[in-house]
Structure 1
Amino acid sequence: MRHKLFYTALSFLIVISGKAQLQKLVKQLAYNDSARLVTIFKDLHANPELAFMETRTADIVQKELKALGYETQSGIAKTGVVAVLKNGAGPVVLYRADMDCNAVEEVTPLEYASKKRMKNAAGVEVPVMHACGHDAHITWMLGVAKIMAEMKNHWKGTLIFVAQPAEETGSGAKAMIKDGFYDKGIPVPDYLFGMHTIPLAVGKIDNAVGVRMAGTDQINVTFKGVGGHGASPEFTKDPVVMGSNAVMQYQTIISRNIGAQDVGVLTVGAFQAGNSNNVIPASALLKLNLRWFNEATRNTLINGIKQINKGIAVANNLPEELYPDFDIAATAIPLNNHEVLTTRLNTAFEKVLGKENVLTNRPAFMPSEDFQYFAMAGSKTVYNYTFVGIANKDAVKKANASGKEFPFFNHNGNFEVDLSAIPLGTEIGVTAVMELLKIK
């Protein structure tokens, strides 16, 4: 009741004094909600879920958004959730947050650290952790949704919130769209907005114009051979040796086929073969991921992998039916922030954070995203993806003093979101959405 009385009084003052006090109201509401949001964040962090398995997280999201008066749909691409709030004539804004975690073992000393293990898509039990901040993304979204519902008299239009599965695999957004996302009564947005954690100090954001994240391919290569006794390799065709050869040769694509001033990354993230000391297996699986900014580089990487695979098969005198399998499991194009929209939002962000804390000239990131697939190709939709600092300020200073840019980085077991970033990230999110929907 006290919170509602505060909001009513402050809202009345805004009507009287104009829009100058709007940001003050946003800040007050974000920080007044801090305890609830931190509780949600800690719970999500302690209970991470892998791609397309985010059932618990999805249930929390739907329950929270439905209680706020949003029209919700769930089960899109297995676990995706969407919520819509229509508030008169105006723009359509889609705010997206991702839900899935990483197969990483947490090593932070946090009392709410993840100790969870679960079976991945292949049925293998792995440690799991929110090592990329998706727990913060969902928490921010729920905070933004609450404030926007409470501030309906300050904006007009349609607001859509999406909790997306499987960002880490690069397939969740496309899966939701393929599952009829825009055929379920969900309007195509004018503006698409999202935020991602970055281990900059809390209080800073990175939001530049143009290409901000690389394109990616997730590729599975299976080397096939002839298994046998480890003591008699002459009677086998050893796929472990073939795969090991490939891991080293793949890097020559980067060093000898891509120009020194161009950019590409080829990483072998997993090598899976056999289960016995004295048995040469019949196959070996290599899981690759590529990063690139243009199709020419992508084609060089893909063609190079295929040629190396074939060369290894020929060198091992394999028949064609045992040549390596090559499967592109997922692809995402580079993320490209819209110039006019990004500049507009940065002007609003500067009023919250100060111009010196809105960074607009940092280089693009090699990590990738699939957020941009909610912007329909050839449609009216333009998008912005903002990176929000979540690292403890003292930890950043200590890292900088030792010559490091960050105290930790994403996808590592020591990744840690400072709790002060929870209300601030919420305020930043509301600032962006309100800028696009506010009554002029």
Structure 2
Amino acid sequence: MEVERDTVSLGEFEFECGRSIPELEVAYEAYGEFTGDNAVLVCHALTGSAHVAGRHPDDQTDGQARAWWDDIVGPGKAVDTREYYVLCANVPGSCYGTTGPESTNPETGEPYGTDFPAVTVTDWTEAQRRLLDELGIPHLHAVVGGSVGGMNVIEWAKQHPDHVERIAPIAAAARLDVQCLAMDAIARRAITTDDDWQRGDYYGDGPKPTDGLALARQIGHVMYLSKASMEQKFGRRAAGRDAARSFPTDPAAGFFPYRDVESYLDYNAESFVERFDANSYLYLTRAMDNYDLAAGFESDEDALAAFDGEALVMSFTADWHFTASQAEELAEALRGADVAAAHHLVESDHGHDAFLVEPESVGPPLSDFLADGVEGTAVTDTDEPPEDDDPSFAPVHTSLFSD
């Protein structure tokens, strides 16, 4: 599959916060051939990149050894690049080619650091719209994305309702609940209390806040898993003999086992800090936490009133980050705005990560929705709105931490 990888300058860009930067560069990848009405925009999740599918000679140098949705996007796959022209753009504030905190401020010659303007999901959407204008793509067949990328999808229906025919927010919601807000706040504090963070001015040859970023990533990673999936994958097992502890420990630690789940979290954190920027993590989680579909409107329904396309909302039963009941609330808001909408609920133990690791569950309904809308044969709608306290749907949030 041929991949088009490039970076486009959008010139001066004003953010929703009111501040501007002299030049916003946006990194993107595109797959397939544009025929005028077949463009599909894919929105990546929190720490994702434009590298959604395929392989590229630079894969090993940009930290993206494997495309993050390669099981879904490609020839003959759910988002078929033989039929659709598929684009994915890295969002402002990230660190994978698009201008963000670690980028050089042309006015000072130094990295922006925390002088970079605050970014929002609305800013991401506007940057994508301007990128599409630069590429000569006036209209989208569909916008698809998972997690905070799903919020990005919803914002397209709110901000540019006449520019897209179909939206598919997956494992997403109209806003985060308070428990997720709290955990994101703790993750950010892990970074900002690391002595090496230096108030965001850590670029150069000196130490970087790797310990803080590693802890933030571990908190996030636990949020993406379910209680059932953690039990199945790790249990209470001790790690193998060769496993080495990554963090300083208390004197009593030698008496107790270094558990498999600890080793797993440490390993993933170590690989993450090698490829991601701590300031970007702060900026992107703030954007996710701040998002509220109803902002500027009386309700979610009012925010979606101008969109007259179709919508597929997809959720997963064990996802407590964005619950099935939150997805149903979003679907109801779409229906209340007279949008043809289906809520496809997937029985899964994988938690929030299910949208990444279960292509056999995500692919068929997504493929049919892109082809035939909500009438697609694999698209199903929930018969009953799920309840948060019903264990057959989304687990009670605190259950992840209780006995």
TM-score relative to the length of structure 2? 0.30
Q: Which has the higher strand share?
A: 1
- Ranked by relative contact order (alpha carbons within 8 Å, sequence separation 6 or more), the top structure is 1
Q: Which has the larger radius of gyration?
A: 1
